[in-house]
Structure 1
Amino acid sequence: MTAAIDRELEHFRGLSSVRIDVCGTPGAPPGVSYQRDADDIAPMVRRIVEENEADAYVIACFSDPGLAGVRETFPEKIILGCGENAILQALTEADQFGIISLSILSTYRQRRKIRMMGVAERYVGSQGIASNAVEATSPELLDRMVEAGQGLLARGADIILTGCASMSHFREPLEERLGVRVIDPVGSAVCAAIGRIILRQGQCRGSGR
């Protein structure tokens, strides 16, 4: 999955002078299938931020494991969760959004996230594809992704989010077959992080610091 995410971010590297590094979490499960997986990964995320100096950090998992805790620990750092960021982007681009999720368990976590963010009235739901994070790197899942997206459109979605970091490569073919905007959470969060870096640098120069 780490290698797949790195490949999908390659085309962003020529668009900005900001260097983009992708690192895995040694010892972590291959994907976040259960809430306990997200809980186990949280301290690993905190350790990675602590040990790797960067201008900004993106948690490349839609469940955003450890996001609140790592922000609390490092309040001066730019730290984005790709799930949270994708949802916020969707709110600026469309009236209602839906999420293609890996499984029913992913759907439960996404519902909780939406409730905690207070945006349930803009959310039509999540549609699972009975898969897991490792399998989602395969292009063979496209038909299932399209079917899930069509179900979300029928429920009123104006924009679709892919609900796993390993689904990034589906964004373009999904847009072509569904006819609506599809947000890849990782690409969205990386671009937002670059924007925040530029904003912070501009504000520092403007204040003479």
Structure 2
Amino acid sequence: MERRILVINPNRDAACTAGIAAAVRPYDLPGRARFDTVGVAEGPAAIASWQDWYQAVPPLVALAEREPAEAYVVACVSDPGIEAVREATGRPVIGCFRAAVLGALARADRFGVIAFVEASKERQRRVLLSMGAEHGLAASEALNLGMAQLLDPEIPRAALLAAGRRLVEAGAGAVVLGCTGMAGHHAFLQEALDVPVIEPCAAGAVQALLAVA
């Protein structure tokens, strides 16, 4: 039986959702597991603040309740509402940031994060504290770009590369992309840096496959 894994972008940006879908598509296992990717029409335009984070949770949970799946991936690197979705569905729920951190720690003792905006750092720090993984964070660098700029195929690349290099200089042996809107830049950054670059959508997909195996 083919198991359905639902990947939910908790914001309403269709271009961001398309990028997430492209990032997880290589992990489809025909006849065994299928990734379906959806956005939340009632969600915020992006999750840049705590208000956005909390606003995203009720429609995220409602969508998960309407859409049966064997597992869910919350495709935001602030991991909003994963406990609430788990409670509502009784299914495995993967937070992309948690998955990416585990992937980074499998490759290096210390890692860095390229955050979406400055406010993302505190939300991600709290996730690290809950995981007991804060000791592994070498540094975090915020891009402070809008979602439209981040999704552009060229505009953010110089800033991404500069941030990645600063993280490596700070001692990071792996770099985590701190927003799912960065998925389309993964190959570029991996080629440019001398350390592993962890893309959270892919990391979440791999963990979801393990959860339904």
Q: Which runs of 5+ in 2 are unaligned?
A: 1-15
- Say if 1:96 and 1:197 are closer, same or farther in 2 by CA, change over 3 A: same
Q: Does 1:50 align with 2:65?
A: yes
**Is 1:68 matched up with 2:83?**
yes
CA contact (8 A) 1:162 1:183 kept: yes
Report Cα offsets for 1:127-181 as digits up to 9, x if no partner.
0112133321112211110100111111100000000011111111111111111
Matching residue within 106, 110, 122 for 1:96: 110
How large is the Cα RMSD of the aligned pairs?
1.6
* Percent identical: 30
Which structure would you say has the larger Rg?
A: 1
**1:207 maps to what in 2?**
none
Q: How many residues align?
A: 197
Higher helix share: 1
Extract unaligned runs of 5+ from structure 1: 199-209
* Structure-2 change in CA distance of 1:159 and 1:52 (3 Å): same
Alignment of 1:59-138 (within 5 A): 59-74=74-89, 76-138=90-152
Residues 145 and 16 from structure 1, CA distance in 2 versus in 1: closer, same or farther, beyond 3 angstroms? farther
- For residue 148 of structure 1, the aligned residue among 163, 166, 173 is 163
Q: TM-score, normalised by structure 2?
A: 0.87
Judge conservation of contact 1:62–1:164 (CA < 8 Å) in 2: yes
**Which of the pair is proportionally richer in strand?**
2
TM-score, normalisation: structure 1:
0.88
Contact 2:65 2:88 in 1 (8 A): no
